[in-house]
Amino acid sequence: MSAQKAPSSPHPMRAALAAFVGTTIEWFDFYIYATAAGLVFAQLFFPPDADPMIGLMASFATFSVGFFARPLGGILFGHFGDRLGRKSALVTTLLMMGVATFSVGLLPTYEEVGFLAPLLLVLLRLVQGIAVGGEWGGAVLMAVEHAPAHRKTFYGAFAQLGNPAGALLATGAFGIIASWGSDILYDWGWRLPFLASILLVLVGLFIRMRVEESPVFAAAQESSEHEPESLPLRDAVRSSWRSLLLGVGVLPVAVGGYYIVTTFLQAYSVTEIGLSEQLILNALTAAALLELLVTLGVSLLGDRYGTVRMVLIGLAGVAVLALPQFLILETGSTVLIVLMLCLMRLAMSAVYGPTARVLSQMFPPRNRYTSISLSYQVAGAIFGGLSPLACTALLAVTGSILPVVGLLILMAALSAFCLIRAPRYQDEEMLAQV
């Protein structure tokens, strides 16, 4: 096929909306676990006589397990997505996540079955991690590869919208349940979001089945010069290893800093500062709503003024707000806390929204699903999975929030350095190579 013009899709918005709905469901499932890990799992799934800080660290350790499983999901579904197509891989990841999340809502507690309770929790978290590991890369590619060249950042951001939308639904659901009282929350209320997620999965499957395969993938498959790699992972490591490393380095704030300003901040607010669960859940819900509303806007600005420029502005904002967001918590002022968390989430949206295009344009179509999934999920395992645990450990050892602030600023600096050095290509150029 000619390399003069990249294939276009007649339905880019349909693909973008399907990516949004699918990632919203996946991230909702992932975030209700994260929210429960910060609020109730330490008391429900671990010995009741343990020190509260040790119980919280154990709860965050089960949270981390999902991140370490994500690279495996990226490799597994990237392999099939690069060889057989994006669509079939995405249907499978959605089913896996739905079954695992629903099952968490049925688990017995430590009081009922002892150590079997955290063991089952960890196993289901592994399945969640594998599913999310395969989901993100495929959803991003379906959105970006269906999009016209001048709007790839904008359409790619629809896949990114699933993150704040899922967080909004998760914190909103737990906020409502927390308003019923702590007894209900700890007794049976925490199970409701997990059980209700199965309804969202059914909706997501219906929408996802109606989307066409990626036109870029289809064009690459039809090219007489292109032969599908038998092992896309081997090809990615051999031909794109520098881009893989830079891809991991671009993401510390997008995947790790995010959990510092949500999951860790939530636990720190309640456990150390003594704020009510209701206050912090409401503040995080407002922040997630703001991120949901502005992500497409900042991504449009990225298409107009430069994707990299927009991400660098967001990283600078994260670094500047790193200390104030924690100091504001000590005031106990609802207005100030909501305002500061919203400002941080605005900066995060400028970092996270354009990430879909940044990563997808770093790799050739023949191993792109594998490459962006591997970069994103390795970064998730290192920076996302360990950030809440590392921050909790730093706080326990030093008794100060300053090391946590320093860690977030260092992550922003690393992200900026790797972003500036990352390769940037267009589909038109890359299709000439396949």
pLDDT digits (tens, 9 = 90+) for 214-256: 677 777 666 544 555 567 778 778 877 888 999 999 999 998 8
Token pair for residue 120? 């089952």
Query: How many angstroms separate the Cα of 56 from the Cα of each of 41, 46, 188, 204, 413?
Result: 8, 9, 20, 33, 29
What DSSP assignment string belongs to 127-155?
A: HHHHHHHHHHHHHHHHHHHHS-GGGHHHH
Domains of the chain: 12-431 (1.20.1250.20)
In which region does residue 349 sit, left (phi positive, over 0), alpha (psi from -120 to 50) or beta (all else)?
alpha
The model's pLDDT over 42-73, given as tens digits with 9 standing for 90+, comes to 778 877 766 666 666 666 677 677 777 888 88
Which residues make Cβ contacts (< 8 Å) with residue 10, sequence separation at least 6? none
Q: How do residues 317-368 score in pLDDT, each as one tens digit?
A: 999 999 999 999 999 899 999 999 999 999 999 998 888 888 888 887 777 8
- Is residue 422's pLDDT more than 50? yes
Residue-level pLDDT at 367: 79
Rg (CA), the chain: 21
Phi first, then psi: what are they for 7, rounded to 5°? -60, 145
pTM of the model: 0.74
CA angle 287–292–295, rounded 5-degree value = 110
Q: What's the chain's length in residues?
A: 434
Question: On the CB side of 225, how many CA atoms lie within 13 Å of its CA?
Answer: 8
